[in-house]
């Protein structure tokens, strides 16, 4: 048959002209680019004067000598361009006591002193938990007895800086202070690990590793106090320890002992007595001590163990923020007995609006307080730091 179906494949075809493929054109273009880049590189290697950054002249490099009338470096607040101000500097604050005993605070705007913007320092009260173990250097002074707390240049007190923040609500508020930390390593560690952050810790000045324990407690969110040893009625048979403040000592020696104790740690809101029934009942002995504590911006907590204590009277006369414990929680070392005391503390708080309980860092106390605080919030109770419940002349 004469059709192409029977012709062998690939034969009797007309030759066709070949066209350059796309790949071949791409190779040519890439080769051209490489030639251009190489040529430019060679050019810049020998002619790079125009591409170099101009060097400053010798006259520009020479630093001008300081002027004889050169002014001192400005302070940080001036350098920032704005003066600092406290959060309430633009408000009139009025507080009134209602018929039910609650305090009503009224805020109204007022003009700030000066013109222009100000930098509002929002960390007036409390401390960021991430920085809670680090002291504020502006609230410390270096002395032969160590770094002691002082009121800052802006009027800020250590009591305000290191206080535990709270809601501000005027509900039922309770502060629980666990004291004697530092005396027992295992007891201190157990208290820090097991008790909720709302519990206030009081460190005994005669304890061990106080700075380390303080840092652990502050990182855990706890407000802390420092326990100062005061003379009990049965001294010296019952000796609270080194640097005990005594009624028989001159005032200067007692103040020196107080300062040595204060220098043991930092970051505390105030002082709590360690024993001291005789000393706290003697107005002549306690008055200069309270005055020194007050001028340093601290509070004082009386543990309530002495019925003859004069702390409230002396504190009011010296302008010292103070508080008085309502219930001793662990006079009987039994978990059930301590739970009953905590229930008594709650009744006092509901009657008065607030209450303070104190205990020692015993295992039974830690177990009972841990259990009781788990259910306190469900009954409308707010556990606060002791600084929130002080009688403070600045906050009538």
The Cβ of residue 359 has, within 10 Å, a number of other Cβ atoms equal to 27
- Between the CA of residue 112 and those of 81, 223, 341, what are the distances in Å? 17, 33, 49
Q: How far apart are CA 298 and CA 157, in angstroms?
A: 7
The pLDDT score that the predictor gives to residue 395 is 81
Residue 258 pLDDT exceeds 70: yes
Instruction: Choose the weakest-confidence range: 58-67, 278-287, 311-320.
Output: 58-67
- Considering the chain, what is the average pLDDT of its residues? 83
Residue 81 pLDDT exceeds 90: no
Spatial CB neighbours of 370, under 8 Å, sequence gap ≥ 6: 194, 195, 196
Q: How far apart are CA 132 and CA 127, in angstroms?
A: 6
Cβ(344)–Cβ(174) below 8 Å: no
Token representation of residue 255 = 């103040």
Percent of the chain with pLDDT over 70: 70
Greatest Cα-to-Cα distance within the chain, rounded to the nearest angstrom? 143
Residue 350, H or E segment: helix 335-352
Apex CA 88: angle with CA 83 and CA 89, to 5°?
40
Which residue(s) pair with 95 in the sheet?
Answer: 105
CA-wise closest residue to 269 among 170, 333, 203: 203
pLDDT band at 50 (very low <50, low <70, confident <90, very high): very low
Q: How far apart are CA 164 and CA 386, in angstroms?
A: 8
pLDDT tens track for 92-110: 767 666 665 455 667 678 7
Residue 38, H or E segment: helix 22-46
Percent of the chain with pLDDT over 90: 64
Is the Cα torsion angle 152, 210, 221, 225 positive or negative in sign?
A: negative
Token representation of residue 30 = 């890439």
Residue 141, phi then psi, degrees to nearest 5: -125, 140
The pLDDT score that the predictor gives to residue 347 is 97
pLDDT band at 280 (very low <50, low <70, confident <90, very high): very high
CA-wise closest residue to 271 among 325, 227, 215, 315: 227
The pLDDT score that the predictor gives to residue 47 is 57
CA-wise closest residue to 87 among 146, 156, 23: 156
Q: Where are the beta strands (DSSP E) in 23-181?
A: 84-85, 91-97, 103-109, 119-120, 140-143, 146-149, 172-181
């Amino acid at each position: 048959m004469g059709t192409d179906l029977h012709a062998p494949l690939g034969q009797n075809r007309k030759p066709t002209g070949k066209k350059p493929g796309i790949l071949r054109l791409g190779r040519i273009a890439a080769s051209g680019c490489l030639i251009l880049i190489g040529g430019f590189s060679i050019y810049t290697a020998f002619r790079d004067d125009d591409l170099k950054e101009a060097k400053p002249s010798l006259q520009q490099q020479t630093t001008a000598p300081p002027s004889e009338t050169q002014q001192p470096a400005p302070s940080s607040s001036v350098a920032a361009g704005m003066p600092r101000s406290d959060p309430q500097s633009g408000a009139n604050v009025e507080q009134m006591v209602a018929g039910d005993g609650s305090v009503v605070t009224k805020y109204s705007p007022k003009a700030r002193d000066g013109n222009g913007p100000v930098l509002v320092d929002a960390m007036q009260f409390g401390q960021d938990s991430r920085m809670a173990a680090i002291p504020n250097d502006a609230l410390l002074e270096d002395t032969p007895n160590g770094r002691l707390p002082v009121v800052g240049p802006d009027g800020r007190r250590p009591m305000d800086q290191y206080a535990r923040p709270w809601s501000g609500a005027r509900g039922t508020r309770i502060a629980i202070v666990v004291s004697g930390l530092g005396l027992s390593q295992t007891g201190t560690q157990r208290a820090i690990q097991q008790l909720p952050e709302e519990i206030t810790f009081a460190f005994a000045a005669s304890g061990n590793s106080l700075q380390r324990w303080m840092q652990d407690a502050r990182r855990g969110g706890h407000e802390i106090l420092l326990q100062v040893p005061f003379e009990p009625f049965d001294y010296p048979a019952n000796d609270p320890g080194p640097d005990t403040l005594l009624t028989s000592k001159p005032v200067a020696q007692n103040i020196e002992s107080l300062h040595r104790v204060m220098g043991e740690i930092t970051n505390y809101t105030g002082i709590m007595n360690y024993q001291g029934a005789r000393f706290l009942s003697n107005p002549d002995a306690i008055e200069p001590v309270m005055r020194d504590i007050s001028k340093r911006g601290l509070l004082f907590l009386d543990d309530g163990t002495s019925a003859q204590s004069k702390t409230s009277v002396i504190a009011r006369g010296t302008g010292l923020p103070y508080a008085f414990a309502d219930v001793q929680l662990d006079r009987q070392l039994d978990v059930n007995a301590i739970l009953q005391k905590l229930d008594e503390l709650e009744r006092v708080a509901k009657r008065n609006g607030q209450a303070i309980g104190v205990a020692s860092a015993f295992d039974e106390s830690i177990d009972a307080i841990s259990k009781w605080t788990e259910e306190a919030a469900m009954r409308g109770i707010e556990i606060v730091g002791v600084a929130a419940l002080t009688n403070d002349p600045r906050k009538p």
